[in-house]
């Protein structure tokens, strides 16, 4: 299986390159810029995802794509549109035309960030994006569904929480994912014979979880990380943060309070 990883120079891309190296002997890595830690044995091809011709080049001859490329936080509409809307569409279209069989799309918790923290949600809820970034992730999931249903691509969307060595604050106790657990979900997306179009939550085995991840479990996901093991660290970090009523109310945290003015209009 020849794999392409887009967004390979980013933090998640860098971690996944290391974790998937021994698993897939043929990995092409791509990003707009060369990864700082690029190994001599790595096959790197630079590409701007907003340029369809460049995306055609990186998808040629590929069996499975791990699509991490794009802008990974909130940004101006111009930035989000170019990187995450045009870029994501180009990726699915070029992958389909190139005969790629599977795409694993890095969606985000911010596609559903405006669900309240006292709700437990599954993968079948209506999207409630908390930002232009979150809208772009909901768009990516929709494009993935289109290419799966219309063209038979096998698509897995992972609504990633926060990938890190440990949870960074109270919110992350609910959404943290250990890098190895994310690699496990990516492998399910690339290999499981029954994948057609699926959405998983990218979270470890977190006691404080807001998400019902039984769909991932159905495909054999057995997370090893437990955010509770780092509760003291996360709460100590939380104590350093300023109070923010909107952020604390919704799952998307600061992505919800950023530019928030709904209260003033009620």
Q: Is 133 a catalytic residue?
A: yes
Query: At closest approach, how far in Å is the CB of 248 from ligand 15L?
Result: 14
Choose between 154 and 252: whose C-beta lies nearer to ligand 15L: 252
Show the tokens assigned to 178: 């250990």
Q: What single DSSP character describes residue 41?
A: T
Strands (E), the chain: 2-6, 26-31, 43-46, 64-67, 102-108, 154-160, 162-163, 176-177, 197-202
Query: At closest approach, how far in Å is the CB of 155 from ligand 15L?
Result: 19
Q: Which long-range contacts (CB under 8 A, 24 or more apart) does 233-236 make?
A: 233/166, 233/167, 234/166, 234/167, 234/168, 234/169, 234/170, 234/172, 234/173, 235/170
Which is it for strands 176-177 and 162-163: parallel, antiparallel or unpaired? parallel
Which residue among 89, 133, 147, 221 is the active-site one? 133
Question: For binding to ligand 15L (CB under 6 A), which residues are involved?
Answer: 72-73, 108-110, 162
Choose between 83 and 109: whose C-beta lies nearer to ligand 15L: 109
Q: How far is it, in rounded angstroms, from Cα 190 to Cα 103? A: 7
Query: At closest approach, how far in Å is the CB of 5 from ligand 15L?
Result: 16
Choose between 100 and 199: whose C-beta lies nearer to ligand 15L: 199
Choose between 108 and 213: whose C-beta lies nearer to ligand 15L: 108
Query: At closest approach, how far in Å is the CB of 201 from ligand 15L?
Result: 12
Residues with catalytic function:
133
């Amino acid at each position: 299986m020849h794999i392409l990883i887009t967004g390979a120079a980013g933090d998640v891309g860098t971690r996944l390159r290391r974790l998937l190296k021994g698993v897939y002997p043929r990995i092409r890595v791509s990003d707009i810029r060369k990864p700082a830690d690029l190994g001599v044995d790595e096959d790197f091809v630079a590409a701007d995802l907003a340029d369809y011709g460049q995306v055609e080049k990186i998808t040629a001859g590929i069996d499975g794509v791990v699509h991490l490329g794009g802008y990974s936080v909130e940004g101006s509409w111009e930035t989000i549109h170019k990187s995450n809307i045009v870029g994501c569409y180009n990726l699915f279209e070029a992958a389909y035309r190139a005969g790629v069989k599977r795409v694993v799309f890095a969606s985000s918790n911010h596609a559903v960030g405006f669900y309240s923290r006292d709700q437990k949600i599954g993968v079948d809820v209506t999207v409630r994006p908390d930002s232009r970034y979150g809208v772009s992730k909901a768009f990516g999931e929709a494009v993935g569904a289109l290419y799966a249903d219309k063209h038979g691509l096998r698509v897995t969307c992972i609504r990633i929480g926060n990938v890190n060595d440990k949870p960074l604050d109270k919110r992350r106790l609910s959404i943290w994912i250990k890098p190895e657990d994310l690699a496990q979900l990516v492998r399910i997306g690339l290999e499981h014979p029954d994948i057609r179009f699926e959405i998983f939550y990218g979270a470890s085995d977190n006691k404080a979880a807001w998400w019902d991840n039984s769909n991932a479990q159905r495909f054999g996901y057995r997370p090893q990380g437990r955010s509770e093991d780092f509760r003291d660290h996360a709460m100590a970090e939380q104590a350093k943060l300023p109070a923010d009523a909107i952020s604390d109310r919704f799952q998307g945290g600061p992505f919800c309070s950023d530019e928030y003015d709904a209260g003033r209009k009620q």
